[in-house]
Structure formats: C-alpha cells, structure tokens
Amino acid sequence: MLYDLPAPAKLNLFLHVVGRREDGYHLLQTVFRLISLADRIDVDVRRDGKIVRETDMLGVPHDEDLVVRAARALQAHTGTKLGAQIKVKKNIPAGGGLGGGSSDAATVLLALNRLWETRLSRAALMQLGLGLGADVPVFIAGQNAFAQGIGEQLTPVKLPERSYVVVQPAQSVPTAAVFGASDLTRDTDPVKMTDFSGVKLFAEFCGEIDQQSSFLQDFGRNDLQPVVLKRYPVVRQALDWLTQAGLSARMTGSGACLFVGFPGVQQATAVHQKLLAKTRTDFSSAALAGVLSPIQSISVCEGLSEHPMLHWIES
C-alpha cells in the first residue's frame, strides 16, 4: 500500500485561447506552475480486480470520479487483473481552476503503474492521461511547463522561486460553461516563444529580475477571466475586494480561484495575514445581517520546481 501520496495543484500564470478545433476543443497557450497546495491519496492493491473509491465526494458519483476512471483506464490498457482501493483527502477546492481532479488522476496513474508493476513509460502514461482530461499530462510530466495545443504539448520551463496567496471565492465555476460561452475570446495572437526561461519578458513577470517595466508586470492575461467575471458575481466581488486591498490578482484556469505572486514566502505570509484581518473587518457585520462573504478561503502556497513524484518514472 502507498500512503499519503501528493497530488499538487497548479496555477495558470497566463492562459490564452488562440483558436478552436473542428471537434470543439480549444487551442491554448499557458504556463503551468505546480504549487504546494495538494490533495493526499492512499492507494492499495485489490486482488479481485475491483476499483473502489473509499471516499464519498459530494456531487461526484463513484464511477465518474477521475481517480476511478484513471485506474480503470490503466487496467484496460495493460490488461492487469489487479484492482485498487483508493482514498482521497481533498485539500484543493473543486471548481477552482487549480486542477485538483486532474492531479488526483495523475497521482493514481503514477502509483498504480508502480503497484501493479505495469511499467508504462512517462509518455505512455501521459497519453493515457490525456484521454481523461487535458490537464492530466502536465502532472505526469512532473515539471512546470509552457503548454500548447489543448494543453498537452508541453515544453518544460524553469521558473524562479515564488510564493502565492491563493484566494478561493465562495463560488465554484464549471469549466464547460466557461469554454462554451459565446463571448469567449478565441483568437488571441499566439505567443512567439518556445523557451520562456530564457526570455527577459517572462523572467520579469515571474519576479526574477528588476521590475521597472510596467509592461512586464502584466505579461499576458487569462482569456477566460472576463467570461467568469460577467457570469459569476461572487468571483467578481472577490477580485474587486483584492483590488481594493491594493493587489493585482489573476484568475487561474477557468476559475474560480484567484492568485497573487510574491518573491518569497515571507512577503506572501504578511499579505495573507493582512487579508485575513481584512475579511474580519469587512465581512463580520455583513455576516450578522445574513450577507455571505465572497471569500471562502485564503492560503499561502509555494511554487514547486517539480512534482514530488517526478522520479517515480525513469523515462
């Protein structure tokens, strides 16, 4: 049995929609950043061939859960007669744009590839993961990456150390509804870069060098953000609240979570404490009047240089 396996969240440092395929899938450009916020997963082998998720997930039927689908996909692909018992401790909010479900699926694939001794290569596992969701391959690849296509064409990038304040609004956002919106921008000009780690523009955006240039502070955008803000008022409230606090926040993925980057954990922690105090000041009286706070949670996360399970596969 493998206990307490990490399934880290991700941030999209920017997310551009550059086109749409005939099959309806959107063509994207983004940079995935792995962060320390993580679900924890226990996986054990069953000899009866059954795939069982121990944990009840509100609103997620057993057979539709990505961890169950991932295990069954690996089982079908390899022909193994073994099964799996899977327990998930959720820390990553659902509907937050942090990739929690995809990361859980990737961790299960990595774990069962070892437990079942199926010995698939990283490329084979990534291809299997792509059938589950466009974000799954990046977690199996295990490195921060510039992604193109539908998110599966990955180029590893080195990112400087950063810490983040991640704010979860008190509202979740369904991905399909956002990508299906008629007013979603789908023709952003593609970025003409293949290796961000060597580009001064991106280095400044990440806080690696002097940030005198106002242009570089605002590199790229999230094309899904205006769509979400228009349709999900609590997310807009949360973003406006952060803006009033003097912070320039950005939405990750299809929302709803917002993030602000800092050079180090001390700066992020200081802002985190100020925001917690501000929630008490701004929303305590409103709560007494029955008005709900737009803020569900605020956390500090460190950027990771690689997935904690990167070296579980040699090739």
What's the confidence (pLDDT) of residue 240? 97
The b-or-e profile of 251-287 (16+ CB within 10 A means b, else e) is bbbbbbbbbbbbeebeebeebbeebeebbeebbeeee
Nearest to 202 by CA among 137, 146, 253: 146
Q: Give the chain's end-to-end CA distance (angstroms, integer).
A: 23
SS3 state at 203: helix
Task: Provide the 10 A C-beta neighbour count for residue 288.
Answer: 8
What distance in Å separates the CA atoms of residue 45 and residue 51, rounded to the nearest whole number? 9
What's the confidence (pLDDT) of residue 99? 97
Report how far apart, in Å, the C-alpha atoms of 45 and of each of 50, 83, 145, 291 are: 9, 6, 32, 48
What distance in Å separates the CA atoms of residue 76 and residue 93, rounded to the nearest whole number? 30
What's the confidence (pLDDT) of residue 290? 62
Q: Which amino acid is at 191?
A: V
Tell me the catalytic residues: 10, 135
Query: Where in the chain are all domains bearing CATH 3.30.230.10?
Result: 2-157
Nearest to 292 by CA among 234, 231, 228, 232: 234
Q: Give per-10-residue mean pLDDT for the chain (315 aa).
A: 96 95 90 97 98 90 96 98 98 95 98 97 97 96 94 90 96 92 91 52 46 45 96 97 96 96 96 96 72 92 97 87
| Assigned architecture for domain 2-157 | 2-Layer Sandwich (3.30)
What distance in Å separates the CA atoms of residue 268 and residue 222, rounded to the nearest whole number? 22
Residue carrying the six token digits 């952060």? 242
CB 103 within 8 A of CB 139: yes
CB 6 within 8 A of CB 28: no
Residue carrying the six token digits 């999209």? 12
Estimate to the nearest angstrom the gap between the alpha carbon of 2 and the chain centroid: 23
What's the confidence (pLDDT) of residue 314? 78
Nearest to 238 by CA among 169, 304, 288: 169
What's the confidence (pLDDT) of residue 315? 72
What distance in Å separates the CA atoms of residue 82 and residue 166, rounded to the nearest whole number? 39
What's the confidence (pLDDT) of residue 192? 64
> Which is it for the CA torsion 131, 17, 249, 156, positive or negative?
positive
Provide the 8-state DSSP code for 311. G
What distance in Å separates the CA atoms of residue 135 and residue 309, rounded to the nearest whole number? 16
Fold assignment, 163-302: Alpha-Beta Plaits (3.30.70)
